Amino acid sequence: MFKIIFWLVILLNCLAIVGSIFMGLDEGDISFFFQERQTATFLSALQLALISFMALLIYVLGRIIYKKEPGNLKLIRIWIISAAVFTFAVIDEYFMLHEGIDGNIATAFFGITENPHLDGLTLSLYGIVAIFLFFRFKEEILKYRQALLLFVIGGFFFLASITLDIKSTEKLRIVLEESAKLIAVAFLLLGHVSVLIENLRKVDQGFSR
């Protein structure tokens, strides 16, 4: 089942990227459908919302699986935290909260009125939070080897998107940055799907006994 979901998610995102490029070329701007509140942003926000929902389900299932194990109940808090973080990420993605933050900081602290286009530095805060949460709850995360690999791949593409987002004003770089971010979100989604399927299997085995 997971393999089918995996290829469907990857195919959907690849089609969205390729389709957005061709539609953009038809519009005379290759980056048009990769800009804020266009196709790429909508799909990214939708997948982030799904991740948040799945993380919440994983937490609920974890409480069922480990109801008699206080130590594990503490560890599964990572999933409710994940749900909260990705809920904020949905709002951030769709309403562009991180966009322009660098410009406001530059204006407030350095008197620079021109936006330096360093939104990637703001997005890097997500990466810092992710690393902190991994080390804080690594005992729980390391239970899911397949998911861990998917999270690492997603992190790699997210890092690539951050790098491309810094000083990103060229149209081709915008396309590459948003494409990398979309693929990153896809792998984070697949990681959560993997964990959810494994927990559903554990619950089913528990009720089958």
% of the chain beyond a pLDDT of 90: 49
31-69 as b/e: b if 16+ CB within 10 A? bbbbbeebbbbebbbebbbbbbebbbbbbebbeebbeee
Q: Is pLDDT of 189 > 90?
A: yes
Q: Cα(83)–Cα(89) distance, rounded to whole angstroms? A: 10
- Give residue 114's pLDDT band: very low, low, confident or very high (50, 70, 90): low
**pLDDT value for 41:** 87
Over 60: is that where the pLDDT of 34 sits? yes
pLDDT of residue 55: 97
pLDDT of 40 reads 87
Say how many residues make up the chain: 209
Q: Indicate the range of 43-47, 95-99, 156-160, 183-187 predicted with least confidence.
A: 95-99
**Looking at this protein, which amino acid is placed at residue 8?**
L
pLDDT at residue 108 tops 90: no
pLDDT tier at 192 (50, 70, 90 boundaries)? very high
Average pLDDT in the 42-68 region? 93
pLDDT-derived band at 73, boundaries 50, 70, 90: confident
Q: How far apart are CA 184 and CA 10, in angstroms?
A: 11
Q: 87-93 — which CB contacts under 8 Å span 24+ positions?
A: 87/49, 87/52, 89/48, 89/52, 89/126, 90/45, 90/48, 90/49, 90/52, 93/41, 93/44, 93/45, 93/48
Distance separating alpha carbons of residues 51 and 57, to the nearest angstrom: 10
- Average pLDDT on 126-140 reads 88
Annotated domain spans of the chain:
2-208
Contacts of 198 (CB under 8 A, 6+ apart): 144, 147
Q: How far apart are CA 62 and CA 64, in angstroms?
A: 5
Higher-confidence residue: 180 or 209?
180
More confident residue, 140 or 70: 140
**pLDDT at residue 188 is higher than 70:** yes
